[in-house]
Amino acid sequence: MLAFSGSLPATAFAMEGLDPYLVAIGRAVAAAVAALVVLVAAGAPILPPRAHLRSYLVIVAGVVFGFPVFSGLALDSGASTSHAAVVVGLLPAATAACAVLRAGERPRPLFWTACALGAASVTVFTLTRGGGHVTGADLLMVGALLSAAAGYTEGGRLARETPGWRVISYALVVALPLTVPVTAVLALSTDVRPGAASLAGFAYVSLISMFLGFIPWYAGLAAGGIARAGQTQLAQPPLTLLWAWLLLGEDVGPATIGAALAVLACVAMTQRARS
């Protein structure tokens, strides 16, 4: 979660000099280069087993394309990093639902109570900040968290049999036939004005958010159960708020802090609920 908590602020920095779509898709190409180096160095096959290809396509759609594109567009459309961070607090509930539907997990009622409280806190915060309405940026963030939930669940399932580093590496490699040409077109057709902050942000979302962060994440989902371990994502909003305040100078008001703390309290409840 520490690695992922910097994703939204880093995306905001990257978009200072790069097109949102270029940041979203291009980072998958950069991450795939690192993944190929690791696979070759470890002597592992470059491609995943054909029997698991469908699962890897779900991961590609969810975390290689879905979350980066939707979250980047949400930030580009005017959502602050702190606002987007609190909306992401719904991600654990979405992941838990996917774990029930796809991975066959059955958490206890206390678990679902904590999920519902966390989701309610985020929903109230979103409606309050939007004047009682859900904004376009909020809908984009919902698309982002649903995409991530599907990709997390499928990756967690595969990580029960395949090491987490190979799961994310294979997903990035499988996506290359699409990410490389799209990145090339975007690089040639969009306004590219990379500065130091933009390049640093792009490097972070490429190597940390898109690759290294997934290695312990998928391993943790496989070991602790996707639904239960996924609730540690509720700690992500407070961390992201901290980075938004420190790095972007965003004004984090009492309502934002209160919503983040309410979501964080739900983490403790979910961790008491054994599957």
The answer to whether 201 and 209 are in contact (CB under 8 A) is no
What is the chain's Cα-based Rg? 18
Rounded Cα–Cα distance for residues 107 and 226 (Å): 10
Tell which residue, 1, 37, 3, has the closest CA to residue 212. 3
Q: What is the residue-level pLDDT of the chain in tens, covering all 275 positions?
A: 788 888 889 999 999 999 999 999 999 999 999 999 999 999 999 999 999 999 999 999 999 999 999 999 998 887 777 777 777 777 877 787 787 777 676 777 877 787 788 777 777 776 666 555 667 888 898 899 899 999 999 999 999 999 999 999 999 999 999 999 999 999 999 999 989 999 999 999 999 999 999 999 998 888 888 777 776 777 777 777 777 777 777 766 777 777 777 776 776 676 665 44
Secondary structure element (H or E) that encloses residue 150, with its range: helix 136-158
Q: What is the DSSP letter of 172?
A: H
Rounded Cα–Cα distance for residues 200 and 197 (Å): 5
| pLDDT value for 259 | 72
Q: What is the DSSP letter of 10?
A: H
CA-based torsion, 188, 193, 198, 199: positive or negative: positive
Residue 46: how many other CB atoms lie within 10 Å: 11
